[in-house]
Structure 1
Amino acid sequence: MKCKRLLFAMLVICSTFWGRSLGQEVSIIPKPNFIKVEKGSYKLSGKTSIVASEDLENEVVYLKEILKSGFNESPKLKRKGKGIILELDSTKSQKLGEEGYELSISDDGIKFTAAQPRGIFYGIQTFRQLLPKEFEYENKKALIELPFLTIVDKPRFSWRAFMLDESRHFKGMSTVKKLIDQLALLKMNTFHWHLTDDQGWRIEIKKYPQLTKIGSQRKDTQTARKSDERTGEPHGGFYTQDEIREVIEYAKERHITIVPEIEMPGHATAAVASYNWLGTLGTTKEVSETFGKLDESFNVADPKVIRFLKDVLDEVMLLFPGKVIHIGGDEVNFEPWLKNHVIVDYMKSNNLNSPMDLQISFTNEMSNYIDKAGKRMMGWNEIMGHDIHEDRGYTATETSERLASSAIVHFWKGELDLIGKAVEDGYDVVNSNHWDTYLDYTYKRLPLAKSYAFDPIPDGLEEKYHSKIVGFGTQMWTEWVPTVASMEKQIFPRLAAYSEVGWTNLSDKNFEQFQQALKRLKYIWEVQGVEYQ
């Protein structure tokens, strides 16, 4: 009897150990919302076929490359049979949405099921993290064993964005593609591309070639806040429209939508340096080499300037297939407007009582123009008319103009109750509260744990408005981040934390488990040459 008890105890211990070790094998970022691991394993080799329809050609090619990198041979594609099955099932749309997936590994093989191709793609990203960590990078293998399991997964938010500011410091196409690869691995679906600002215009506009001939170059660069020191070197760069098409296609293959940001009416110095008649001050001749909130902005009272901005939007909207165009709208300095007699006269003749009314009126004109092209305008939350900087002397309650109802409000600064006000007024909101999402902040100011703990839905927001918070963005501003290496250390590992912010249900999040899973990603970043903090 004693021996039987001892044997039973040993079996329990072994069973517990097996479960724990297998649990470590299936550590995935972002953490799936349901995962069940069972006894047994499936033997996968380079001889295992992929079974998929023609609808999933993009996903098949992507998966083939992953398997070829580990097995040193490309798996065959079949339309029927056993192996790695990729299957679309429209009846799963209510359960999984557009981005969810089911992944099962059993004696019958490996099966991915989703309502849309992007769900299959995200299932593949999960599958990559089930493979040995060195699979895609080191010694080629003949055979690997994967645990039997079932995963049912879909994202918490539909907008999971990373923003790269290339106006302040241009990084180039290879860096952008490298970042897009990381976004894909982490199931982020939106690349917000900040392409114009005071310190550089980075997108070719064929109708206005001076924007890149002059606006993409600056003579020098400020080295620190409120400092007169300069690097002593010029800085520049821009993307041709053909290069942008290449990046768009690269992102599309990874189910990432690119949202371009073309700043207006503020942050306009580079554009005004290119075409002086665009500006308010009448003194701007050069692209700014200093950072911060500057005085120059577009003269929105001039019909010629409005035509220029619409011409720019025409080329941008033709270039980018996504449904959202970001127009910035932040940090407009109103004082120069009030000193410009053309703008003051325009405000009087159009019954605009304040410069805040003027900005909302201008924003609405751009929003309506974008709407007519079948897209939607997005802007930082100043577009609602709130004095979030407490330096303009106007508040939204004093304005007579109301922001267009189709606009998407991108919250970045101010009291969180402004989010509540926006959703109550019917607006969709992307929450990028700077205290929680700005990657240029130091790790002391924004530690990894705080990034991980960020919830885009503010405390106290009534549940009936939760669906109006469509998601979040995390922002990489580059004023003080000049090199790719320094930029990557600001992004990683925090980007992994934000992937769980956007994907994983609150009840399933666990920071300690995340830190354990992060070890695998750190290994991959080291092999790939990605710097991290």
Structure 2
Amino acid sequence: MTIQPKSALRLQTHWTPAIEDESLAYSLTLTNLSARPVSGFKLCVNGPGRIDPEAMVEGGSLTARLSNHSELSPPDGFVLEPGASWTVTARGLSYPLRHWTDGANTAYVAFADGTTVPVSVAPTQAKGDNAPLKRGAEIYPVPHVAPVPVAIVPWPNSVSVSGRVAVPQGLAIEAKGDEAKAAAAAFAELVEGLFPVEGIVRPESEGGIPVSLVVADDFASEAYAIRFAGDRVMISAATRSGLLYGLITLGQILRGARHHPETFLFPLEGEIRDEPSLGWRGTHLDVARQFYGTAEVSRFLKIMAWNKLNRFHWHLSDDEAWRIEIDAYPELTRIGAWRGHGLPLPPLLGSGPERTGGYYSKASVREIVALAGRLGIEVIPEIDVPGHCYAMLQAIPELRDPAEHGVYYSVQGFPNNCLNPAREETYQVLETILDEVIELFPYKRIHVGADEVPIGAWSGSPKALAKLGELAGADVAAVHAKRVNIITNRHNADEIDGSGAAVLQAEFLRRVQAFLASRGCITGGWEEAAHGDVIEKEKSFLNGWRSVEVSAALAGRGYDIVVCPGQVYYLDMANSPAWSEPGAAWAGWSEPESLYDFDPVEGWTDEQKRHFLGVQCCIWSEPMTDRGVFDRLVFPRISALAETGWTRPERKSWERFKALAGLMPILYGITAAA
């Protein structure tokens, strides 16, 4: 059935929290604004919030549900007349809605003949909260009087400058030798990408101040010094990265003085000496839930470099999509990279009925990795296994145990989403994939995920149960077999330590890490990779995401740890508990000041700190269909994280940071309404 115009159907959604004796209510009202009646349809909706499969539904029925994609049908024989509305209310969700982005953000109606009609969707409203909805980065205004005379983020170790000169029009860089020339070229590429019309790099004939680059041996690998001497500047460092960081600092000083001459100056004389506090200063980007094109990733890398971040954790696969080209298995991207109505992967997290998605060709990956290398950033790819593999298994279904029966669910509501650790075919396929991945990423650090395996995983697989019996005994296998068809998690990831699922995952990781080690690679994993203590600690690292206490305990057991607790460093979490803020809330919320002040090793012993690699923020993409939401959630918090990674704790100052953060670039340039 065809309905015209496109906006002839409208969806409004409302959220009412549970109060007293009344259960929560998530109500969806479809209104027919056309001149024709509509019948024989299903309402298909998706967004971060998930209707529980066992929820009581009033006014209709939940006829299909995969994670956050739900299909709701009206009663038999129902006709939605012109001008009329139909309301269906769900009395159960996988978690309560807490922010406006939690509700449905895409909807369409589907008919039995396979046709679909888009539905316009208004942001979900919450009972009792009518505040204007927020999107776009909140830019801190630069004050007339700042705590410091020069604009630099993250703040250096030592700044000793005085006097001022007329602000130069740009920087005329003098580079001799391969390292200096490479640093100068990388800086020119960086500022051309971030500030294309400012002419930060320009010759003396156009007003550029001479800047000489000097390679000197007496610096640590990322350290540098800048010396101001009237009409020229000298930057010294031992490496290309050090020289590049010196140029970035100088570029920030120039931009601050140019854009806010009443607040900041360009020094006449003096010196800045600097090096990072931590070696690992990272950002994770989930490109599976939402796809970001090569141009977006490239600009994001440039913003990372401007913040002196040096690790890019690229989350390339998950339940919702597979995003990297693999020659041996073209179906991974042919099937796993696309979502749409009637496809193996339905619309999810804001994607509509049309075929949408994308993946990175090998040429694009090489382009991105090369750019990152020029900017001093190491790229760490993540292929998330053995859990979070729904998309992969849709593309290669023969990886399943053909005798497996029953269902288990991940916390995100995906059924039977784990690679089977008892089948040799699993390792043959995965090793082939990893060999192709290794060839693309020269730093030899490969992340394999290992997070959020459901406690019921493989409980209906005869192959897995037999393997579990070999590894842990018949009694453990018998207990695990009883978990089939039992929904074990709805609100938090299962704690699987000591379970049959943990034993099987440990065997899987033992095999995978041994393979990666044979290829000269270090294996990365989320903290769950420590289950069973089977991975070689000298050839691995973990991302600690639950809490600082968990990370400290793992460090105490000898694991190298990158600290990224969800409560603080997950940038998909909202900036405040207000409904009007976008973002998630399952781990809490963290305003920029809280993130800035957070101590990632509070309470750690000296022995635990020996295994502290550094810090990383994580950008999970569930709420970020709207790129204005991305800008609001990521900026300026990414710069706050960067200062924690670079600046010594005793030299940090929130008031100084707040005065300078407004000069930092944002990805999409979407700012909050004043």
Name the TM-score class by shorter chain.
Answer: 0.7 to 0.9
Shift, 1:42, TM fit: 7.5
Corresponding residue for residue 3 of structure 1: none
CA distance in 1, matches of 2:212, 2:595: 36
Alignment of 1:98-117 (within 5 A): 98-107=221-230, 109-117=232-240
Shift, 1:71, TM fit: 5.3
CA distance in 1, matches of 2:231, 2:378: 35
Q: Which residue among 568, 572, 577 is the counterpart of 1:440?
A: 572
Tell me if 1:87 matches 2:214: yes
- Contact conserved, 2:324 with 2:333, CA < 8 A, in 1? yes
Corresponding residue for residue 369 of structure 1: 515
Tell me if 1:184 matches 2:305: yes
- Contact conserved, 1:203 with 1:238, CA < 8 A, in 2? yes
Which residue type is aligned with residue 526 of structure 2? W
Deviations along 1:94-137, one digit per CA (max 9) or x if unpaired, are xxx211111111137211111211011111111111103485x9
Which residue type is aligned with residue 330 of structure 1? D
- Contact conserved, 1:491 with 1:532, CA < 8 A, in 2? no
Q: Which residue among 53, 58, 75 is the counterpart of 2:203?
A: 75
Corresponding residue for residue 295 of structure 1: 416
- Contact conserved, 2:403 with 2:462, CA < 8 A, in 1? no
Corresponding residue for residue 670 of structure 2: 531
Tell me if 1:128 matches 2:251: yes
- Contact conserved, 1:268 with 1:298, CA < 8 A, in 2? yes
Aligned length: 472
- Contact conserved, 1:84 with 1:110, CA < 8 A, in 2? yes
Structure 2 residues not aligned, in runs of 5+: 1-143, 341-345, 477-499, 577-588
CA distance in 2, matches of 1:472, 1:294: 33
Shift, 1:178, TM fit: 1.2
- Contact conserved, 1:280 with 1:298, CA < 8 A, in 2? no
Compared CA separation, residues 234 and 43, structure 1 to 2 (3 A): closer
CA distance in 2, matches of 1:463, 1:129: 35
- Contact conserved, 2:280 with 2:613, CA < 8 A, in 1? yes
Q: Which residue among 503, 510, 519 is the counterpart of 2:662?
A: 519
Shift, 1:49, TM fit: 5.5
CA distance in 1, matches of 2:324, 2:454: 24
RMSD value over aligned CA atoms? Answer: 3.0
- Helix, strand or coil at the partner of 1:472: strand
Which residue type is aligned with residue 89 of structure 1? A
Shift, 1:351, TM fit: 4.4
Q: Which residue among 499, 523, 530 is the counterpart of 2:642?
A: 499
Pick the structure with more strand per residue: 2
- Contact conserved, 1:202 with 1:212, CA < 8 A, in 2? yes
Compared CA separation, residues 132 and 431, structure 1 to 2 (3 A): closer
Deviations along 1:186-242, one digit per CA (max 9) or x if unpaired, are 000011111101110000000001000111112233459xxxxx8444432111111
Tell me if 1:160 matches 2:281: yes
Compared CA separation, residues 105 and 467, structure 1 to 2 (3 A): farther
Shift, 1:434, TM fit: 0.4
Tell me if 1:279 matches 2:405: no
Pick the structure with more helix per residue: 1
Corresponding residue for residue 529 of structure 2: 383
- Contact conserved, 1:266 with 1:298, CA < 8 A, in 2? yes
CA distance in 1, matches of 2:565, 2:305: 23
CA distance in 1, matches of 2:371, 2:283: 16
CA distance in 2, matches of 1:149, 1:407: 43
Shift, 1:374, TM fit: 1.4
Shift, 1:180, TM fit: 0.7
Percent identity over the alignment?
26
- Helix, strand or coil at the partner of 2:163: strand
Tell me if 1:356 matches 2:506: no
CA distance in 1, matches of 2:403, 2:300: 39
CA distance in 2, matches of 1:171, 1:292: 24
Corresponding residue for residue 8 of structure 1: none
CA distance in 2, matches of 1:145, 1:516: 17
CA distance in 2, matches of 1:532, 1:29: 20
- Helix, strand or coil at the partner of 2:442: coil
Task: Tell me the TM-score normalized by structure 2.
Answer: 0.65
Tell me if 1:403 matches 2:531: no
Which residue type is aligned with residue 378 of structure 1? G
CA distance in 2, matches of 1:255, 1:61: 12
- Helix, strand or coil at the partner of 2:327: coil
Shift, 1:46, TM fit: 6.2
- Contact conserved, 1:50 with 1:75, CA < 8 A, in 2? no
Compared CA separation, residues 283 and 276, structure 1 to 2 (3 A): farther
Q: Which residue among 459, 468, 472 is the counterpart of 1:347?
A: 468
